[in-house]
Amino acid sequence: MYALIEHWELALGLPRYEYISHLIFNAGTATYSHLDVFGFVMDLLRFPIHAAHHPRRNIQVNGVLSKDNLGYAWQCNTLGHYVLYRSVQDLLLVYTNFTQRSARVLWMSSLDSEPVFDPTDDWQLTKTHHSYQASKYQIELIASELEKRTVAAQESGSASWPSSSLEETVAPHGEIHHLIVSPGITSTNMSALLNIWIPGWRYLMVAAFWIVRLFPLHPLPIAFFADRPLIHQWHVQVRFLGAPHVLMSLFAAAVSSVHLALVPLRHVPTARDAAQLHISPLDVEYPHWHAYYGQSQKAPARVQALRFGSENDRWGNERPGVVAVPVWEEHPNAGEVLLERFERLYQAFDVANAERERGESGGGAVNGHGNGNGKAR
């Protein structure tokens, strides 16, 4: 969605439902300019797994704004989801009150999420050339902050915080849980934004995915290409795990979301459980161009959140998996700061939208809601 008014219009159309039990945010876009084809091919040959899981050759442009004069990728991928959540929060609460079960909000992140922005002066991601990765990382920050407050509300019995402006962001008694999911890597129409000039590139992409899924986890040594006798030595040294996050169908990519939507919450591990379950950010190997590269030297690696992703084995058997997202040590309170900014923007746009609706309706109740706000009540 490209304008926040569309989120309110969607939310105002939802009261025909008695309640909402699940929200799954799956929208995403990027301000791609092009694909560095030569660089991507070289990465694919040298670092097949990393090139697929954490591509660095998808060139993006910065400074792109939305109709609301906000960061385009940021609004589409992050803020818009938050606005929709807050707009239908009451319907989620109706479900919890009616069924005595927790509602769930599934925030769609990405393997490509990365803290590649300045949270002090570029939180709308207009300056960074990696707005897609940064917007997905902000998803993880916001979702983990909301879940932290949800758990605290459950334990204390109320959503009481020093900053009273954030009390409404979570359910009063922690009835709405926030989970982070990832669809893995698969071929979608979003790749058309890369403006690839090679004829038949979609078929080449699918073929590359099939091949990469069978590759080892570690990058290939240069000697592999220059000295054939080293093939046997290389086979012995590396682990033939394949690329577990490279999926061959949209059905497989949906496994994580479906699983998290249906599995009992008591069986869903949290960041608190990471140490007990031996889930660590150090379990994941990142390429040298990634912000998390070398984090094994920054012990202990604290866990910010758990990201549940779609995976498969080398033969295509789907399964849900989990990855520990490390704390952004340079900005450990980034989630709280972002949540405050998101909420202020939401409140400002909510008031502006209510005034617009009131003007269109002649000054009476807005869309049937006497309180005049844009929430679906």
H/E/C letters for each residue in the chain? CCCHHHHHHHHHCHHHCCCCCEEEECCCCCCEEEECHHHHHHHHHHCHHHHHHCCCCEEECCCCECCCCCEHHHHHHHHHHHHHHHHCHHHHHHHHHHHCCCEEEEEECCCCCCCCCCCCCCCCCCCCCCHHHHHHHHHHHHHHHHHHHHHHHHHHCCCCCCCHHHHHHCCCCCCEEEEEEECCECCCHHHHHHCCCCCCHHHHHHHHHHHHCCCCCCCCCCHHHHCCCHHHHHHHHCCCCCCCCECCCHHHHCHHHHHHHHCCHHHCCCHHHCCCCCCCHHHCCCCCCCCCCCHHHCCCCCEEEEEEEEEECCCCCEEEEEEEEECCCCCCCHHHHHHHHHHHHHHHHHHHHHHHHHHHHCCCCECCECCCCCCCC
- State the chain's mean pLDDT as an integer: 81
Distance in angstroms (rounded) separating the CA atoms of residues 108 and 308: 10
Phi, psi of 31 (to 5 degrees): -95, 60
Is 367 a member of any domain? no
Please report, for the domain that includes residue 13, its CATH number: 3.40.50
* Structure token pair of residue 242: 């394949």
pLDDT recorded at residue 214: 62
**Single-letter code of the amino acid located at 101:** R
Handedness of CA 88, 90, 93, 95 (dihedral sign): negative
Is 232 a member of any domain? no
- The crossing angle, in degrees rounded to 10, of helices 80-87 and 334-361 is 60
Is 235 a member of any domain? no
Distance in angstroms (rounded) separating the CA atoms of residues 29 and 190: 7
Is 22 a member of any domain? yes
- Are 30 and 60 contacting, i.e. CB atoms less than 8 angstroms apart? yes
Q: Which residue has the higher pLDDT, 108 or 213?
A: 108
pLDDT tens readout for residues 46-60:
888 888 889 999 999
Strand partners, 176: 103
Average pLDDT on 357-372 reads 55
Distance in angstroms (rounded) separating the CA atoms of residues 112 and 136: 8
Is 327 a member of any domain? yes
pLDDT recorded at residue 303: 93
Handedness of CA 54, 58, 63, 69 (dihedral sign): negative
- Which residue do the tokens 């046997």 mark? 232
Q: How confident is the model at residue 363 (pLDDT cuts 50, 70, 90)?
A: low
Q: How confident is the model at residue 86 (pLDDT cuts 50, 70, 90)?
A: very high
Is 90 a member of any domain? yes
pLDDT recorded at residue 241: 42
Minimum mean pLDDT among 14-28, 127-141, 188-202, 342-356: which range? 188-202
Domain that holds residue 317: 4-28+57-198+245-361
Q: How confident is the model at residue 220 (pLDDT cuts 50, 70, 90)?
A: very low
Number of domains in the chain: 1
Minimum mean pLDDT among 200-204, 220-224, 347-351: which range? 220-224
pTM for the complete prediction? 0.84
Is 52 a member of any domain? no
168, pLDDT greater than 90: no
- Which residue do the tokens 């979608």 mark? 188
Is 17 a member of any domain? yes
Percent of the chain at pLDDT above 90?
49
